[in-house]
Amino acid sequence: MFESLTTKLTDIFSRLRGKGTLSEEDVAVGLREIRLALLEADVNYKVVKALIERIREQAIGEAVLESLTPGQQLVKVVRAELAETMGAERSTLSLDRRPAVVLLVGLQGSGKTTAAAKLAALLKKEGRKPLLVAADVVRPAAIEQLRTLGKQVDVPVVALEGVAPPDIAAAAVETAVEDLCDVVLVDTAGRLQIDDEMMCELEQIVSGTQPSEILLVADAMTGQEAVNVASAFDERLGLTGIILTKLDGDARGGAALSIRHATGRPIKYVGTGEKIDGLEPFHPQRMADRILGMGDVVTLIEQAEERMDQQKAEELVKRVRKNRLTLQDFLEQMEEMQKLGPVSQILERLPGAAKLRAGSDSEEEAEMRRALAILRSMTVEERLNPSIIGGSRKKRIARGSGTKVRDVNRVLSRFEEAKRALKLVGGRRGKGRSPFDMLEAS
């Protein structure tokens, strides 16, 4: 996500921060480089022009040029203006009505059906009782896909064969009232391009259901084309927000930076993976941090609290304090880490990740998969007592995991390094307060 843009901006600000003072010429050169980086990231040229002008107005002044840390102050200005361009604050769904109807619209292939199921799963976690509606009768297998996804997230699906989409949506609202569902998520048909037939059908659904939200599901990887699509849908339907899908595959970031400024409609959610939990609320300030290579630790912590087993984490801390860490713990923690997503997604949320990620994503994921395969090929006895793993056992583990003995040795070596490091941490308790004591005190 934003890999190309983040790398370029990080390099630009690294050079500027390296200067003790900044002149107006230094700022002008920096702004030209930022402008070029944004245009290369497929950000709408009108958005780039307005953004650079706002940054220039603040940068050429005492707050930046006369500051003791002018480079850092300029980064602060750029961060604020990037966030403002994307909407400044998080925009939430308006779901006051019962049932509240949320209409998902967009072109074919943008990911509407999957986004509907992901949003249903997210709303369930927030204590809502959603209902999914299969109103896409054009795309083959769309109804079956929504039924499958509905089972996956344990949300009921309304699907009526041989009925027009406006009538399906109206009937679904009645079903929601009867079944006490408080949110109705309507998946609609798309086309390869915007046409009058599609828009007329959507207008009929809007007229019949009076939706609280009309969300455009747009493919982030289409760049500026996503902005054009959003403008066209907004003109006919009056959008209330946008869901940007496939943002994890967008190395440039043009759509995310352009669509709010160009349409005036907020991005409410972003798709960050294929899994059913790969939909996140959109926070403009956090996204600005990620674009500038500052990471997004807040979201990472929120995901860890939500997805990782807290009881297992507490038990692990106790075993570490008693120096009883085993390969079974090692395996369980790696499996817990997988719940946070691919290694690349975790890294990009860490400050300075642009510099950390010199290796390819495929190498990182392959290393993780090898280690998991090796640990899973061991017996429980071997994981609990690694000292019994000799040459013949290593060969068996390597064969069972499809790896080589040297890969098994590497995993065992890393485990021993981790144990030694944790033992040193625990050993400090006798001389003073350990990190665990400090955590408990806080």
Tens of pLDDT, residue by residue over 228-275, are 899 999 999 999 999 999 887 665 677 888 888 888 899 999 988 788
User: Is residue 299 scored above 70 in pLDDT?
Assistant: no
Mean pLDDT, residues 400-413 taken together: 91
Rounded CA gap, 251 and 256, in Å?
Answer: 11
Q: Residue 12: which pLDDT band, with cuts at 50, 70 and 90?
A: confident
Rounded CA gap, 134 and 144, in Å?
Answer: 9
User: Is residue 113 scored above 50 in pLDDT?
Assistant: yes
Q: Residue 170: which pLDDT band, with cuts at 50, 70 and 90?
A: very high
Residue 438: the pLDDT is: 37
Nearest CA to 294 out of 28, 35, 10 is that of 10
DSSP secondary structure, 141-152, as one string: THHHHHHHHHHH
Q: Which of the pair, 440 or 56, is modelled with greater confidence?
A: 56
Backbone angles phi, psi at 5, to 5 degrees: -65, -45
**Token representation of residue 350:** 């860490």
How many other C-beta atoms can be found within 10 angstroms of the C-beta atom of residue 14? Answer: 13
pLDDT by residue (tens digit) across 76-102? 888 888 889 888 788 899 998 889 999
**Listed range (35-44, 180-189, 311-320) with the worst mean pLDDT:** 311-320
User: Is residue 358 scored above 50 in pLDDT?
Assistant: no
Q: Which residues contact 215 (CB under 8 A, 6 or more apart)?
A: 102, 103, 104, 105, 239, 240, 241, 242, 243, 268
Quick check: bond before 435 cis, omega within 30? no
Mean confidence (pLDDT) of the chain: 81
Whole-prediction pTM: 0.68
Domains observed in the chain:
3-85 (1.20.120.140), 100-294 (3.40.50.300), 301-441 (1.10.260.30)
Q: Residue 441: which pLDDT band, with cuts at 50, 70 and 90?
A: very low
Q: Residue 60: which pLDDT band, with cuts at 50, 70 and 90?
A: confident
User: Is residue 356 scored above 50 in pLDDT?
Assistant: no
Residue 334: the pLDDT is: 74
Q: What percent of the chain has pLDDT over 70?
A: 78
User: Is residue 45 scored above 50 in pLDDT?
Assistant: yes
